[in-house]
Amino acid sequence: MEIMKDKIFDNKFRVLSPLVHNGGMGEIYFVEDLKKDFNSKIIMKISKTEHINRFKKEIKIMLSLDNSPKIADILYSDLESDTPYYIMKFYKNGSLNNFYKDKLTGNFELQQKIFLEMIEGIQEIHSQNKFHRDIKPDNFLVDDNENIIVSDFGLSVDLSSTSKRITNTAEAYGTDGYYPPELSDNIGSFKYFDKRSDIYMLGKSFYALLSNNFKPVHIDKSKIDNFIYPIIDKACKIEKKERYENLEELKIALQKAFTYKLQSSPYEKAHILCQNDDLNMLEAEELYQLFLTLEIEEQKGILIILPISFFREIITEESIDLKYMLEVYKEIVEVDDPFNNWSVYTQSFMDNFRASMRFIITNKEYYNDEVKAISLYLLIIISEQRDEWACQGILKSLTDEDFIDEAVSLFLDNNAQNNDCLSQINPFVCQSMSIRKLINESKV
């Protein structure tokens, strides 16, 4: 590199010194603008001998995107020089990962700004029928106004070009941890690459920025916030068909997630989570923490729409106080005039409630007899109120267990003997002696 020092190019630029962080397929130098054509500090990227054809292709792609403020500008280029090169502005803030390192944790407004600008930059490329193919935090620059600029198009491809593609199946470029499995599974071949491959690399870039792990071979969900993990997980699915179909889908998902995080009240956040019928563990735990912050009437509102997947995920989590949640359920169903409470008893609520209580009662891995007893009690009470006999099957099948005695005691203590649901059951078809006793007493 020292050989280049003071070399003059086209009587316009004199090489000063190499950039500390140099390029992969080219060498980068600070240069002096001898003609004073440019007002900003500039750098020169020079092709390495073995990559001249790819370097020329990079210049052509960048020039075709030259009118976009989201793409690094080529200020001057010479493809015919013995050493092809181009001139671009020097971005003193450097790359995205260097400028924002350790600044993103907990700063959701900044996360949203950066991620959406990254998407918009790649969208600009896709809109012109091109793929970047080397997306990573290092290949995004930060300008003086802290806007995100896409750079380094050394692996990019223009699908509309009639020229021969540079990449062949024997080549394996890209950065470990970022390039998608369709490349590594096919010996580096880019012929399997499409817009969903760029989406994969964006997802890995988001994860790297949030976790400060810039070699993200694997995604550790414990290193990032719960609300954004499902989005990154979907963007980085192994199978392309399971990822976001396009960048607009990814953008909308991120906007919704950050709106949820930044603008919603705890009740609104809990309500949004309940719209998901297939909660994962992280979401269920977050929902529980939100539930604990709510006023009692808000808690009732959440329980009315709570999906059964919540219980499936947290049933064995000792940190979850299910008894408290069931006590709130009791306030919903234990009313003097159940007919006045029917407004909350939607069919969706009834289906979820019955399924959830049955799940708790019959779960073999859950050993809290008190919670199971309350669940059985609530199932009987609400079945009576709605004139539904959903509880009959489970009452017939239960065997003698400690929690059944607790449920019977709870039932009797609350003066609920006169229960048509129970009186309709033949006690002799029940396996539990405690249930038989309860049914007989209800018939008195």
The Cα–Cα gap between 293 and 291 comes to 5
Long-range CB contacts for residues 189-194, cutoff 8 Å, separation at least 24: 190/133, 190/155, 190/157, 190/165, 191/167, 193/131, 193/133, 193/157, 194/131, 194/240
Helices 247-263 & 108-127, crossing angle to 10 degrees? Answer: 170
* Both structure tokens of 403: 């929690």
Question: For each of the chain's 444 residues, which pLDDT tens digit applies?
Answer: 456 889 999 999 999 999 876 556 678 999 999 999 998 899 999 988 777 888 888 888 888 887 789 999 999 999 888 889 999 999 999 999 899 988 898 999 999 999 999 999 999 999 988 888 899 999 999 999 999 999 988 787 776 654 544 444 434 456 889 988 887 655 445 667 789 999 999 999 999 999 999 999 899 988 999 889 999 999 999 999 999 999 999 999 999 999 988 988 999 999 989 988 899 888 899 999 999 999 999 999 999 999 999 999 998 888 899 999 999 998 888 765 544 554 556 777 888 888 898 899 888 778 788 888 888 888 877 776 665 566 677 777 777 566 787 777 777 676 555 566 667 778 788 888 888 877 777 665
